[in-house]
Structure 1
């Protein structure tokens, strides 16, 4: 009987090994896959943010169990490539090729997730980034063209506008951001029923910016900085412009976006929601 007992023990061990391997594979399987597109040219503040993001997100991927890839090849913005990812990030710019734009729109309309940072929403006619993508800037983002910005990059007191949205979970009503160049937009997002404003600049931030030009300092007004469109799994956040030492021509980083526990939580909340959450959070 001993040979049969040994064989039984061996089979039991093999079954346990297979079961453990399957369990480990399930545990280690990423919850979702993220692809970040970037350009990282011309503006050192945006380049700095992209480099920082491509170091920070892989660390968060290990911690929160998602997979992260990045590419500066915008020709990858096609249906076959995007089919391997549940979340797309625009770290600085946007696609300009018509075919790439169509592929991105279809990806979003089919339930894909997206987070855009800072310059990814920029559009101004005339400029190198003209307002020539109506669906993206007017329907998807809802903001229209860029109008103006603060200068220098300055921290702001941000106010949570929707406390029940998954993106703002665990954030205090008021908190201080990292330094950033803040944008003002053509359209009033409060008037758009498809837009959920998640965070805005609190009035205690004013005056915001230091100039030297007076129009670069904001003294009043309503400025949304993070919002979502109810028809898509998307979040836009105006953060993504590090402070840089331009004055002394060193181009050294004077601030980092991913150096603030609450701002990091906002980004992770956003990523987990668009990666795993439902299409809308009304």
Structure 2
């Protein structure tokens, strides 16, 4: 019972007499529901329209994403390292394809994007280690600025933010997807419980249960990623020494290593039932 309306733009959001949201699309169609879930990305039109503010700052770096064809068939291994200009990462895709994420200054990213694909391939070969395999071709590029955003509130009467509409996180460890999925799991749990209790699922007090479950947890993860970003991008000798010492200890102390790995998979903290494998229906 899902209808996909695409493409579509939001013209305005109104409230009906029962305080439920009513969405007017650019083509004049009117949609109404008990609750409007804003999962429309970092520049969320819903968030802006209903007046939910954000706190944000710029990391003064851009990320260049490069889609490549490689000599090796890729496996489920992600590679990342830290250099003076910022992190570099390799993400495996299907077959011989992979995705390079290259952090750098906005000027340098713009310079790299302006190169032909052949010249960009030469830059990749010079900048990335040979262990990733031969790069046969660059197939496409995209870039985006690194900006941290966090909604000052996730909810309003009849409206709730999830995923990038609620928060954008430093993509250092790929946690943006994880915490977005945890948002969705928590919201499903809250709405189902409210429905079973005979409550209005769009009521602000119901939606605040979701916000209570997720906002602090997301803030913790955002802060941890900022600490990692600053520590691993720092070449001051005492910081490098402590960083290497910490990594060495984490590698040798299995419980610590296990906890770090679970955290990187989004399996630590106060998890919603679905993330713990508990059926909610």
For Structure 1 versus Structure 2, the TM-score category normalised by the shorter chain is: under 0.3
TM-score (normalizing by structure 2):
0.24
Between Structure 1 and Structure 2, the one with more helix by share is: 2
TM-score (normalizing by structure 1):
0.24
